[in-house]
């Protein structure tokens, strides 16, 4: 069994002895390198010994034996050899901020509404997630974020990590029921008066003051299966860097639009409305152009069927060219890009049936109603040829 030293989150160096070696891994009798567990990624670092040194790329805990195995990039120290270990400080610090923020944000959601319980967490990347039951709305999400921002701003929450016998756990207001049996390590963030803000059974690493995890920023939410809402957040230095980059981008955009940053949303809304108006005008022009081409196209007659075949430069006019047809007419519209369609105002010609037959002959796909059908084909000439042959209309 490996004795964990990482519960003192500020401990970055340690000594240990190699007890087992296998493949690219070694187990130690004691380690300050946190293994991958509880939604928190493993520490990385370095092991040094007389005659060697290796980078630790990850760690895992074997629940059956209690051994913590370290994966090494390089040679392995022999069993029985004493080693000096060093934790990657920057990586550990980021993990501490993420994990503490997860606890604090989860508690903020509980205080907004107790039905918002955490069912899963992941803190393996700068964008961390907590999955919540209870289906919080956007108003709840912003309320939890605001509550936590106010709490961290007071800088009064400090870390306490007692190890409590299982029989005594009932005396602590645990946010979630502990899954650990026997003596249990608790992570408690206490207010200045000693009352707890959050109490959780946890073996992870945490910042000594809750304010060190700030800022905590919710990026987005999404509903996933089973009525669970996934909340994606960032914390600490990673969140600050993200917010800084977002502001820098916003400032560049604002300068390009010749407005201050705070008026950027107003400017974007105006441009969006302008774009929508221009798009509507362009659609109307495409429709007018397509109908003009259709009405000017020569007709091909066979019995009661009057056929027009037109080529459009833009698929945007396809719909307009195929609708509002004079009685008895069938219109075939094609584009160089391969978008094709058939409109029929002739009761004896089913546009959907005719289109599918012509697409089958030209290697395309599509379908539609008796009066209007559209699709695409890699061989436009073969498509129009197949339409004429099906109608038995001479070209």
Candidates 6, 264, 242, 236; CA nearest to 105 is 236
* pLDDT attached to residue 219: 96
Across the range 269-282, mean pLDDT stands at: 94
Same domain for 230 and 113:
yes
Confirm whether 334 is domain-assigned. yes
**Domain end call among 186, 217, 247:** 247
Instruction: List the CATH number of the domain containing 375.
Output: 3.10.310.40
Same domain for 98 and 185:
yes
Checking if the pLDDT of 394 tops 60, the result is: no
Confirm whether 102 is domain-assigned. yes
Checking if the pLDDT of 275 tops 60, the result is: yes
Same domain for 81 and 137:
no
Instruction: List the CATH number of the domain containing 191.
Output: 3.30.980.10
Candidates 160, 203, 232, 187; CA nearest to 38 is 203
**Domain end call among 226, 247, 268:** 247
Confirm whether 51 is domain-assigned. yes
Same domain for 364 and 335:
yes
Same domain for 220 and 116:
yes
**Domain end call among 195, 226, 247:** 247
- 279-325: per-residue pLDDT in tens? 999 999 999 999 999 999 999 987 788 999 999 999 999 999 999 99
- 45-103: per-residue pLDDT in tens? 999 999 899 999 999 999 899 999 999 998 999 999 999 999 999 999 999 999 999 99
Confirm whether 259 is domain-assigned. no
Q: How far apart, in whole angstroms, are the C-alpha atoms of residue 229 and residue 310?
A: 51
**Residues of the domain holding 73:** 3-87
Reported as type and span, the H/E element at residue 118 is strand 118-122
Same domain for 231 and 96:
yes
Cβ-count burial 220-246 (b if 16+ within 10 Å, e if not) = ebeeeeeeebbbbbbbbbbbeebeeee
* pLDDT attached to residue 277: 96
Average pLDDT of the residues of the chain: 94
Number of structural domains the chain divides into = 3
- 124-160: per-residue pLDDT in tens? 999 999 999 999 999 999 999 999 999 999 999 999 9
Q: CB neighbours (10 Å) of residue 275?
A: 10
Q: How far apart, in whole angstroms, are the C-alpha atoms of residue 327 and residue 331?
A: 11
Same domain for 365 and 320:
yes
Same domain for 230 and 132:
yes
Checking if the pLDDT of 395 tops 80, the result is: no
Kindly indicate the confidence band of residue 38, based on its pLDDT and cuts at 50, 70 and 90. Answer: confident
Confirm whether 220 is domain-assigned. yes
Confirm whether 266 is domain-assigned. no
Candidates 156, 6, 174; CA nearest to 96 is 6
Same domain for 139 and 97:
yes
Same domain for 45 and 131:
no
Q: How far apart, in whole angstroms, are the C-alpha atoms of residue 116 and residue 17?
A: 45
Across the range 180-203, mean pLDDT stands at: 94
Checking if the pLDDT of 386 tops 70, the result is: yes
Taking the whole predicted model, whether its pTM rises above 0.95 is answered as no
Same domain for 111 and 230:
yes
Confirm whether 264 is domain-assigned. no
Across the range 98-119, mean pLDDT stands at: 96
Kindly indicate the confidence band of residue 105, based on its pLDDT and cuts at 50, 70 and 90. Answer: very high
For the sheet containing 365-368, what is the strand order? 299-302, 305-312, 329-335, 339-344, 372-376, 365-368
Instruction: List the CATH number of the domain containing 50.
Output: 2.40.30.130
Confirm whether 255 is domain-assigned. no
Checking if the pLDDT of 179 tops 90, the result is: no
Same domain for 74 and 32:
yes
């Amino acid at each position: 069994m490996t004795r964990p030293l990482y519960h003192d989150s500020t401990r970055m160096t340690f000594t240990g002895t190699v007890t087992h070696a296998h493949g690219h891994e070694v187990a130690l009798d004691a380690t300050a390198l946190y293994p991958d567990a509880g939604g928190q990624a493993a520490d990385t670092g370095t092991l040094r010994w007389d005659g060697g040194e290796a980078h630790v790329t990850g760690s895992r805990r074997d629940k059956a034996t209690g051994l913590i195995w370290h994966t090494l990039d390089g040679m392995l120290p022999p069993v029985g050899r004493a080693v000096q270990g060093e934790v990657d400080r920057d990586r550990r610090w980021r993990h501490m901020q993420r994990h503490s923020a997860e606890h604090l944000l989860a508690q903020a959601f509980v205080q907004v509404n107790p039905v918002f319980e955490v069912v899963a967490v992941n803190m393996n990347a700068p964008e961390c997630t907590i999955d919540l039951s209870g289906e919080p709305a956007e108003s709840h999400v912003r309320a939890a974020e605001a509550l936590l921002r106010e709490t961290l701003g007071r800088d009064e929450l400090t870390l306490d990590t007692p190890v409590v016998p299982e029989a005594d756990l009932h005396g602590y207001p645990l946010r979630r029921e502990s899954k650990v049996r026997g003596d249990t390590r608790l992570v408690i963030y206490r207010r200045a008066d000693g009352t707890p803000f959050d109490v959780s059974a946890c073996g992870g690493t945490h910042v000594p003051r809750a304010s060190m995890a700030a800022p905590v920023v919710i990026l987005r939410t999404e509903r996933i299966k089973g009525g669970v809402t996934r909340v994606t957040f960032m914390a600490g230095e990673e969140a600050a860097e993200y917010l800084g980059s977002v502001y820098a981008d916003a400032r560049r955009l604002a300068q390009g639009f010749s407005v201050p940053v705070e008026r950027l949303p107003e400017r974007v809304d105006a441009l969006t409305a302008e774009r929508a108006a221009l798009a509507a005008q362009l659609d109307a022009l495409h429709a007018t152009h397509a109908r003009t081409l259709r009405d000017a196209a020569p007709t091909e007659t066979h019995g009661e069927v009057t056929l027009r075949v037109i080529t459009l430069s833009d698929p945007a006019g396809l719909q307009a060219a195929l609708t509002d047809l004079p009685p008895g007419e069938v219109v075939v519209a094609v584009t160089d890009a391969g978008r094709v369609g058939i409109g029929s105002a002739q009761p004896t010609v089913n546009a959907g049936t005719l289109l599918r037959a012509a697409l089958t002959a030209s290697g395309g796909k599509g379908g539609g109603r008796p009066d209007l059908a559209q699709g695409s084909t890699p061989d436009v000439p073969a498509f129009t040829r197949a339409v004429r042959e099906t109608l038995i209309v001479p070209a």
